[in-house]
Amino acid sequence: MKKPHNELFAGPTIDVARRLIGATLNRRLPKGEPGAGQIVSGRIVETEAYLPLVDPACHAYRGPTKRTATLFGRPGTAYVYLIYGMYYCLNVTTEPPGIGAAVLIRALEPLRGIEEMRRRRGPHVPTAALLSGPGNLCRAMSIDRRCDGADFRNGNLIIEPCVAGVRVATQSGRRIGLNVAADWPLRFVDAHSPSISPFRRSRGRSAQVAAK
């Protein structure tokens, strides 16, 4: 039994998004599939904040629905949804219960279970790219709607904070794939990681502004 990391999910959404860079995501592969029970894990190197109340790109913006119910629950819960009929996206809920907001996990650097990830992504995918991109990391780690509502402190989907004292060179920039409020500087990356997701068209240019 490990110590729960409540402090990791506390505070403003932007702070959580920054704090999650360098943290470790551990996933225990579900029963009934290859590698069941094994742990696959990665180091978080890219996140995006979706702010409470004021953010038109946040799924919570128009109030709770059946799909987005978990967004309004306690912080540190998994919000998983299907996008484009084909891929899942994994979020960490933030803010107190009743307020909908989250941090999207966009990319990780593979740590454990590389063979299991490659089995799900394909034999020719380079190791550094196995967990690069929100849809890809969910596929590699067998994360889908069954994970919606999971607690990141216990269970089969756990986030452990960055080791104390480790400094990650974090940068911020515009968000990716949005039609509204894409230019808000709410995307955070570990600038030195080879696993950051490729830049994609989201209109305009992708300004990278140095943060701390």
Partner DNA sequence: CAATAGATCATCT
Partner DNA sequence: GATGATCTATTGC
Binding window for DNA (CB under 7 A); candidates: 1-9, 80-88, 158-166, 183-191: 80-88
Query: Which tokens hold the place of 101?
Result: 């907001």
Q: For DNA, give the closer residue by CB, 29 or 102.
A: 102
**Angstrom distance (rounded) from CA 40 to CA 21:** 18
Number of residues counted as binding DNA (CB under 7 A): 39
Least separation in angstroms between CB 137 and DNA: 7
Q: Which stretch binds DNA (CB under 7 A): 9-17, 25-33, 165-173, 194-202?
A: 194-202
Note whether 133 binds DNA by CB under 7 A.
yes
- Interface with DNA includes 143 (CB under 7 A)? no
C-alpha to C-alpha distances, 172 to 7, 43, 63, 169, nearest whole angstrom: 22, 18, 28, 10
Is there binding between residue 82 and DNA (CB under 7 A)? yes
Which of these, 51, 47, 101, lies nearest to 76 by C-alpha position?
101
200 binds DNA (CB under 7 A): yes
* Residue environment code for 136-150, b if the CB has 16+ CB neighbours within 10 A, otherwise e: bbbbbbbbbeebbeb
8 Å CB contact between 176 and 32: no
Query: How many whole angstroms separate alpha carbon 33 and alpha carbon 37?
Result: 9
The least CB distance from residue 80 to DNA, in Å, is 10
134 binds DNA, rule: CB under 7 A:
yes
Sole residue written with tokens 């742990």: 39
Q: Whats the size of the chain, residue-wise?
A: 212
For residue 187, CA distances in Å to 41, 148, 175, 198 come to 22, 22, 5, 13
Q: Among 27, 43, 59, 174, indicate the residue that binds DNA (CB under 7 A).
A: 59
Does 176 participate in binding DNA (rule CB under 7 A)?
A: yes
Task: State the minimum distance, in angstroms, from the CB of residue 31 to DNA.
Answer: 22
Out of 3, 37, 86, 164, point to the residue binding DNA (CB under 7 A): 86
From 85, 123, 165, 204, residue interacting with DNA (rule: CB under 7 A): 85
Note the residues at the interface with DNA (CB under 7 A): 48, 50, 57-60, 62, 65-68, 71, 79, 81-87, 89, 91, 102, 104, 121, 125, 133-137, 145, 176-179, 197, 200-201
